Structure 1
């Protein structure tokens, strides 16, 4: 209950102070495993621009355990094994770091964090107070260092392919005899800095502009003291040698500067080097940008144009549908009110052979107008008039 209340207090303090950066947990000695009875000190390292005092909080397996910058274990117990994190009143919660407290005769120790470019040292240690001999190291169950007196295995300049399972065996004396014991661990080599990316400013470039290329990467907070160097290339040709500057300036860009650019990042000891993908600078002639901006302004200056076009289209569609429905209703009503005798000739004149002379049929416009008005007001009466009506034929 008390732990939960303290945790809530921590969250409130952090919320009010605002997050700055994530701290990192470091071990001294820098080992992921220790024997029972051994000592170890943990430190919460954090960068902060705040001037006031910083409050520290330690957590083990998500439970609050301590409130100082350092947390010490004087004589380790098996119960001290777990995942440790720290947090401050001016930071986020750190990543967890695992500690194993081992109660056996042999343990294989590695650093808590291994990064590309490191010189990795694996220690096959036996329990203090006992004698030992003949140590063997394995990688993925293959022997890499045979029977010897050395307790350590050194691997220089590790890379991502060095991530694998390691094992050691050692003969330890206890109960007056030597017995062979073993331990194993998995080493995960982490990325020292991220793959760089290159960006340009401004995005839209016209000849004569001042253009800045920037090479971006992220260095691991566990290796914040590592010095990085940057270089720039155009069409594969170096245009700025490696230095601490991660930018390249083109004070007065020309059309001929429309090329592909990339950058490289390396450590100061030259062990790790990574290149970015290319970015293309497209330089426009003077006046092209103004024309583009004018066209863009003309479109954006009439925000209601698209809505007007949509309204006209919808109105036209509704009108067409109305006319189609009206025509269908007219045909339906015409069929519904037609008489059985409509198919029979209504007068003899309709089947008389026309004379050789041209017939002109005149329809009284006033009559037709009245008929349509009558139809729209009283369809049944209009149909009766239609059935009994005779054509007026003038020869």
Structure 2
């Protein structure tokens, strides 16, 4: 069907596709930053992206379904289990964001990590969060069932520089009133991010594999630019073919005699 469109229309379509591909993605931020919360907590999801002039309407999706929310902030005042799931947003001048997952749990205590996959050398930060901020004392953090840190009053547990041996299953325990309560376990994984890159079997000191990949990615043009060039080349070939085809048909159907054009009847 697209072959029937005039070249100008095809050019407009390709240009529109290129502009859409050039749009940067919106980003969803959580406030507070935790993606694991307890029932009745309040959560705000904020959409960061470019807006047209005098139009800050925002689209929000929850588990793939478009919601009625149209503000840049998606406020959940009293989180319920059914609020769990993936959230995406889009502004007028941005592409849809990557999904952000929110987990709403039921219980007295909840372990909240800043991130569950940590690069070696980065800090690990854990919070023992209580339902409705109920006071908790004698708080202890565990890794793979072994006690790691004890606080008489509830405090966050921080490992300044993560190592591979810090990977494992973490939970916290504390006293609420007269009860000894424990949180669910959370898996924390530490990965070695600063591996040295190798070219031709030779290691390049001080250059990480991520930097090499980033350099290679920046060397090649984005896919939509390649597509645009290919389509333009195809349009040129189609136009050229049509031109010669029309010229051939005219020569076959016209007979020039004495400077006048006479038409011969086709067989």
Which of 57, 60, 69 is matched with 1:58 structurally? 60
CA distance in 2: counterparts of 1:96 and 1:161, whole angstroms: 30
CA contact (8 A) 1:138 1:145 kept: yes
CA deviation profile, 1:218-266 (whole Å, cap 9, x unmatched): xxxxxxxxxxxxxxxxxxxxxxxxxxxxxxxxxxxxxxxxxx8957459
CA contact (8 A) 1:38 1:75 kept: yes
CA, structure 1 residues 91+165, in 2 after alignment: closer, same or farther (shift >3 Å)? farther
CA, structure 1 residues 159+32, in 2 after alignment: closer, same or farther (shift >3 Å)? farther
CA contact (8 A) 1:56 1:69 kept: yes
Tell me the TM-score normalized by structure 2. Answer: 0.57
Q: Residue 102 of structure 1 aligns with which residue?
A: 105
Q: Residue 291 of structure 1 aligns with which residue?
A: none
CA contact (8 A) 2:171 2:182 kept: no
CA contact (8 A) 1:195 1:274 kept: no
* Structure 1 gap ranges (5+): 1-13, 199-259, 267-272, 278-395
CA distance in 2: counterparts of 1:87 and 1:190, whole angstroms: 32
CA contact (8 A) 1:28 1:42 kept: yes
CA deviation profile, 1:63-111 (whole Å, cap 9, x unmatched): 1122332211122222211121222343333222221222311111122
Q: Residue 151 of structure 1 aligns with which residue?
A: 155
Q: State the secondary structure of the residue aligned to 2:171.
A: strand
CA distance in 2: counterparts of 1:195 and 1:25, whole angstroms: 32
Task: For 1:75-154, list aligned pairs within 5 A.
Answer: 75-111=78-114, 115-116=118-119, 117-128=121-132, 130-146=134-150, 148-154=152-158
Q: Which has the higher contact order (CA 8 A, sep 6+)?
A: 2
Q: How many equivalent residue pairs?
A: 192
Shift of 1:123: 0.8
CA, structure 1 residues 118+73, in 2 after alignment: closer, same or farther (shift >3 Å)? farther
CA distance in 1: counterparts of 2:34 and 2:136, whole angstroms: 21
CA deviation profile, 1:36-68 (whole Å, cap 9, x unmatched): 22212111223x5x8655653211111112233
CA distance in 2: counterparts of 1:193 and 1:55, whole angstroms: 41
Shift of 1:160: 6.2
Shift of 1:113: 6.9
CA, structure 1 residues 57+125, in 2 after alignment: closer, same or farther (shift >3 Å)? same
CA, structure 1 residues 158+38, in 2 after alignment: closer, same or farther (shift >3 Å)? same
Q: State the secondary structure of the residue aligned to 2:129.
A: strand
Shift of 1:32: 1.8
Q: Residue 39 of structure 2 aligns with which residue?
A: 36
Tell me the TM-score normalized by structure 1. Answer: 0.41
* Structure 2 gap ranges (5+): 1-15, 214-267
CA contact (8 A) 2:168 2:188 kept: yes
